[in-house]
Each structure stands twice: as structure tokens, then as C-alpha cells.
Amino acid sequence: MIKNRSALIFVVFNLVITLPLAAILNIWIDEAYTLGTTDLGAIYAWTEAIQFENQPPLYFVLLSLWRQLSDSIFFARFFSCLCIALTVFCGPLLSRRYLPNLHPRWLTLAIAINPYTVWAALEIRTYALGILLSALLLVTFCDAYLVERPIKASRYGYGILAIAALYTNYLLGSLLIAQWVTLVVLRRRRESWAHLGMMMLVGVAFLPMLWPLADQVMSQTSALGPQQSSFLGTFKSVMGRVLLFAIPSEFDWGWVSLWDLLRYGALGLGVGLGLRQWRVWREESVAIASFFATTFFVLTLVLDITDHAKVVERYGYPLFLVTLLLMFSLLSLLREHRRQVWIWSLVTCGFCVLSLVQTYAPLAKDGGDWRRLAVYLETHETVNQPIAVFSAEGVLPLKYHYHGVNTLFPLPSVPADSSYNLHNLVLKDERDIAAVLMDAGTALQEATSGPTPIVPLPRAEHRGALAEMETRHAGLFVDPTRLPEEFWLIEAPLHMVVAIEKDKAPESGPDVSDALVTAGFESDIGAGEVSVGEAGVGEAGVSEAQRPRERDAAHGERRCEIWNIDLNCQVLDRFVATHYDVVEHVGFYDAHLKRLRRKPLFLSGDFLEKSSLEEQGLRIESIQVN
């Protein structure tokens, strides 16, 4: 009972951290996808998980059922918080089985306050459930195959958990492989054959997922463009994430080399200690080392094949618990390990606190503070001011926070029934923008003055027909009178920024300057500061010190690229510079909000374009707006 109370203290401590943040933080794009997948019931969630999310369906089905109680964002996130709380509760169970020489509080504390578990608890995605399942697999595996008298019920429980793991995320299969390899390494022949037989039953239960698996892998990799990473690069990425599991010191304080030296120095000491003390390794330590090495190799191989090394923080969670187990197992090899464990735990706890403070000080997630942005819009907008969002994915999280009077338009317009493919987010030319905005402008005009004869241009859903029209310039087909007088433009480019080599950085020039202005990188406008034109007064968002990347965006970085797919920001820059003036500009943690007002016809390039149209015999009828 006392031990259980001790575990409950750590659980409550973890919830004290995660629950307030779960209520405050905005959602981001991936979480918005999850909410859309789980909005319409369990059957819809199962289908969408396989066909659109390209993932196994269990998490989405469970979350869909969970959201029947409440459809709020907090309640959806609460499911992940509970999964991590249960993982913390499993800390003493793991410690007693794999770290018999250490007090269970150290591993439990390391799980409870690690920034990775806090991050997983605050994501409406599969990560928290995946971490919980990995903990349960480790516990039941020990009871079913490693103890002297295996518990038969634990084997059945292990088999059920293995099926649930594969139906949650395929990457958890790396841990199942590692557990079988561990039995081979420990020369447990009978247990290894029993485990293999159980995996065959698990495979039979997994058969329904085999036929969509290949399509999901192909669809996911093709949606992200051609592969760029190498196996060595993937290895380094996975190793870097493992070191951050052990020493959470990912600080953005300009001391990158110092923290890298600390982490890799600790890695060297750990390897040296393991090699020096290998003669006194207990069976539990050998099992942990086998878990780690096999899972690491399999995970690295899979991430390299699928080219997902860049997001290893999302998919590296099968390694999280085995990394912590390995870290404390190595510490237990020291002669005076109790003192060293105290010191190590205090140091890592300090790093955890600093990491959490830096990460969540803005009280917003990367990719745009959509909650505050929506509040600002609702406060300052007026009717007939449509809201365009670039990239198109930004509409997804914004629509869950915005409850204003205007309509949201993605740039470019993406077919509602299209599968997930980042190529759909690329702006081909200015006609993609014009089609969306002229739809918005036409809707406003019809609402105020009724239908009016206009130049017959295809609507957004038929914008592909514009590509068949021969023209020297995309703006030739833009009728400025069909554009809205004012509209809000939202850009969230920083979650797309990628580093480039300095010798390949673009030289300064008109295009680069315009791009930086449109992205909100003006020298006189920092993150969270407001540029106000002739109308309106803005509010401060995030301080410039919190977003140092913005100051360096023109030096060694380029924006608007997801993976290696260029979204063509310069197309949007040119369109805005030609047709609109920026009268208000405010930043909200990676998301930039601007109010744009259409230029007078004779001051913009539209006048010449309209004259050119008339010279070619194309009649443009003026629109009377009451």
C-alpha cells in the first residue's frame, strides 16, 4: 500500500504539470487532423485512420469513443494525459523487474517530469498511448518470459498487448522484435519458442492490417517527396533523440556546442562504463541492453526506409523507456551507485525543469498560436473580411479556435476528398490565389448586391482549368474588381523553415526582400510586435527573445519548405505586392496575421492588366456595389 501511495504521488505530480497546460495550449496541425478523424464516430475513425492518416486505427477508434463524453479540445487531450499518468504508475513496476538494486522512485521520477512524456501528454496523437503500451509490454514480458516461474496469464496479457501495440503504431513492432532477440541472447530456448509461437498468433490477428500497410507506406513516402536522408544521417538523428531522452538539455540559449559536448560526453562515459563492468552484468542488465540495441537498430532502419528521420521525436517513443532503463542500469554498475544516482537524478531533474520552462513559457505550441490569433481576429475583424490561410493546413487548427463572422479560405484550395499529400499545398502560380480570393470577393458581392455579370473565371474547385489557358503572365486573368476590398492573410511559415548551407543561401534582392516582408521578417518587425498602417491598432504577441530563429531567417535558412517540397511563397509575395497594401501586421508565435486592403486600380498593376484584357477584346463589366 505504501509503495502504491508513493507511485500515486508521482502520478499526481505529473498531472499537476500536464493538466493546466492541456487546458491552455492551442492545438496544431496534426492535432487538428486527429480531431477531424475522430469527430464522426468509431467506424469513420477506423476508415479515416487507414485511408487518410496512414496509421493503424486503434488510437483513433478509442479517442472517438472517448470523445462521445465530450468533444472539447481539453477532453481529447485529457486522454493522452491519462495514458502518461498510467505510464508513470508503471514506473515502480518496471524498476522492480529490471532495476532490482535501485529504489523505484528514481525511474518513476525520471518518467514523470521528463519533457518527452509531458510533450506526449499534451499531444492529441498516438504517442502517449504508444508509450503506455511499451511500458505494459515490458512489464508483462518480464512476468511471462524472464522470471523463473512464468505466469501463464501474463503471456495471454502480453499477446493481447502486442496486438494492441501493432494496431496503435507499427513502430512498436521494433520492441516486440527486440524482446524475442533478448530471449535468444539470454539463451532461453523454451521461452524464445513460446514467444515466437505467441508472435505467430499476433501475426494472425494482424493479418487484416497487412493489405493496407504497403499502401500506407507508399502513400506516406510519396506524399513527402523523394528521399534525402542517408542511413548514417538517420542513425545520428535517432542517437541524438536517445541522448535527449537521457539528458533533456535541448536548450536554445546559444550554447549548442556545450550541450552537445555534455550529451556525447555522457554517452562516451556510459559506453566505457558498460565495457569495463561487463563481467558483473546481471541478467536484467543484459536484457535491457538487448532491448535497447535491437530496438535502436530496427527503428533506425525503418525510419531510414520511410525517410522519417527528421521527425524522430514523434516516432522514437519505442526507445524512450528502454533508454531510461539502460541509463539507470549503467549507473547501478558503479560501486557507490547510490550517491551517483542521487547526483545524476538531481542534474537531470534540473535539466527537465529548464527544458519545460523554456518550451512552455510562451503558453503556445510551435506552428502558430492559433488560440490567441483567433481571439485577436474576433476582436478586430468586421464583416465582409474573408480570412485566407497559407499554408492550407493552417485552416485546420484555426477553425477549432475561431468563432468569428468571416469565412476561412485555405491557400491554395485543396479538394475535400483528396488524400494526404503535401504536394497539394504548393502554390503553382498566382491563379491559385486569385481563384480563392475571387470566390471570396464574389460571395461578398452577391451577399450585398446580388449576382452581377463578371468575367467568367473558373471557381476554386475547378482552378485546374486555368492551367490550360495560354498566357504570358498569371495576373493577366485576375479581375481586380472581383477581389475583396479587404481581407486577412495568415501565414505560419516558421514551422516549414529548413536550414540550408551558407554558400547556397540566396543572395539579397527584390524577391528575397519581398519574401521576408510577407513572412513577417522585416527588420523593424519582430515576433509578436505589431506593424500598424493607416487603420487599426495591434496587440503584442510573443517577445522577440522567444523566437530567435526569426532574426536569422535570412541567414542560412529559407522558409516555406515542408520536407523537401517548396510551397512557393514567392508566388504569394508577388500577388500581395501587386494588389494589396498591408495596413496591419501582428505575429503570434510562428503565425503572422495581416490585414490587407486592395490598392486603388490606377496605383496597382491591375490597371495595365485590365487595359491589356480590353485590347485583346475581352469585355470586363464593372461591378456595382451598393
* 553-601: pLDDT as tens digits: 444 445 677 767 788 888 888 888 888 999 999 988 878 899 999 988 7
Q: Are strands 387-390 and 408-410 parallel, antiparallel or unpaired?
A: parallel
What whole-number distance in Å separates Cα of residue 237 and Cα of residue 316?
10
Last residue of a domain, one of 341, 360, 379: 360
- Whether residue 626 lies inside any domain: the answer is no
Whether residues 323 and 472 fall in one domain: no
* Alpha-carbon distances, residue 337 vs 167, 330, 625 (angstroms): 40, 9, 80
H or E element at residue 524: none
At position 590, the amino acid (one-letter code) is D
Residues 352 and 375 in one domain: no
Report, as an integer, the average pLDDT of 4-10: 83
Q: How high is the pLDDT of residue 307?
A: 78
Contact 54, 420 (CB under 8 A): yes
Q: Are residues 351 and 422 in the same domain?
A: no
User: What is the predicted pLDDT for the residue at 467?
Assistant: 35
What backbone phi and psi angles, to 5 degrees, belong to 495?
-75, 0
User: Which residue has 486603388 as its cell numbers?
Assistant: 600
pLDDT exceeds 50 at position 214: yes
Cell (9 digits) for 427? 502554390
Beta-carbon contacts of 142 under 8 Å, excluding residues fewer than 6 positions away, are: 97, 98
- Measure the CA–CA gap between 183 and 199, rounded to whole angstroms: 13
Q: Which residue has the higher pLDDT, 291 or 438?
A: 291
Mean pLDDT of all residues in 389-404: 91
Ranked by mean pLDDT, the top range of 178-192, 266-280, 363-377, 549-563 is 178-192
Residues 333 and 404 placed together within one structural domain of the fold: no
| pLDDT in the model for residue 416 | 61
> Average pLDDT over the chain, rounded to whole?
78
DSSP string across 124-177: SSSHHHHHHHHHHHHHHHIIIIISSS--HHHHHHHHHHHHHHHTT-GGGHHHHH
pLDDT of 128 over the 50 cut: yes
β-strands 486-491, 591-598 pairing: antiparallel
Within-domain flag for 623: no
CB of 408 within 8 A of CB of 381? no
In contact, 566 and 227? CB cutoff 8 Å: no
Q: Which of 89-98, 426-435, 437-446, 486-495 has the highest mean pLDDT?
A: 89-98
Instruction: Give the H/E segment covering residue 205.
Output: helix 189-206
Which residues neighbour 221 within 8 Å (Cβ) at sequence distance 6 or greater? 227, 306, 307
Retrieve residue 85's grid coordinates: 499518468
Looking at residues 101-116, what average pLDDT do you find?
92
Evaluate if residue 343 carries a pLDDT over 90.
no
Least confident range of 77-81, 215-219, 587-591: 215-219
Strand partners, 580: 598
What's the pLDDT at 488? 94
Q: By three-state DSSP, how is residue 188 classified?
A: coil
Mean pLDDT of 349-371: 88
Residues 482 and 539 in one domain: yes
Q: What is the mean pLDDT of residues 53-66?
A: 94
**pTM of the complete model:** 0.82
The helix, strand and coil proportions of the chain, stated in percent and rounded to the nearest 5, come to 65, 5, 30
Q: How do strand 557-558 and strand 591-598 relate by DSSP bridges? A: unpaired
Task: Single out the residue in 360, 383, 403 at which a domain terminates.
Answer: 360
User: Which pLDDT value is given to residue 549?
Assistant: 38
Which pLDDT score, from 0 to 100, does residue 6 have? Answer: 78
Identify whether residues 98 and 188 lie together within a single domain: yes
Residue ranges making up the domain that contains 20: 2-360
Residue with the bigger pLDDT between 495 and 316: it is: 316
Would you say residue 624 lies in a domain?
no
Predicted confidence (pLDDT) per residue in 445-474, tens digit: 555 444 333 223 333 333 333 233 233 333
Grid cell at residue 202: 499476433
- Across 243-257, 305-319, 327-341, the highest mean pLDDT is recorded for 305-319
Total structural domains in the chain?
A: 2
Domain termination site, one of 308, 341, 360: 360
Same domain? 375 vs 346: no
- Per-residue pLDDT at 371 exceeds 60: yes
Residue 458 placed within a domain: yes
Alpha carbon of residue 181 to chain centroid: 32
143 and 287 in a common domain: yes
| Lowest pLDDT segment from 144-153, 321-330, 562-571, 578-587 | 562-571
Q: Distance between CA 172 and CA 161 in Å, rounded?
A: 11
Helix 256-276 × helix 231-246 angle, to 10°: 90
Tell me the range of 403-412, 413-422, 467-476 where mean pLDDT is highest. Answer: 403-412
pLDDT value of position 320: 96
352 and 374 in one domain?
no
Is residue 400 within 8 Å of 28, Cβ to Cβ? Answer: no
Instruction: Find which of 50-59, 69-78, 419-428 is predicted with most confidence, using mean pLDDT.
Output: 69-78
Structure confidence at residue 210 (pLDDT): 85
Whether residues 352 and 241 share a domain: the answer is: yes
The predicted structure's pLDDT at residue 617: 44
Q: Is residue 620 in some structural domain?
A: no
Cell numbers linked to 552:
536569422
| pLDDT of 330 | 85
Asked if residue 382 and residue 311 are part of one domain, the reply reads no
Inform me whether the pLDDT recorded for 18 exceeds 90.
yes
Of 160-164, 325-329, 438-442, least confident by mean pLDDT is: 438-442
Task: Give yes or no: residues 347 and 382 share one domain.
Answer: no
Task: Give a yes or no: residue 410 inside a domain.
Answer: yes
CB 161 within 8 A of CB 136: yes
**Would you state the cell numbers that stand for residue 431, as one nine-digit string?**
491563379
- C-alpha–C-alpha distance, residues 325 and 270, integer Å: 13
Outline where 332-462 has alpha helix (H): 337-360, 370-380, 395-401, 430-449
Using one digit for the tens of pLDDT, what is the confidence trace for 245-294?
988 877 665 565 666 667 767 777 766 766 666 665 778 888 999 999 99
Mean pLDDT of 410-427: 76
Look at residue 260 and tell me if it is in a domain: yes
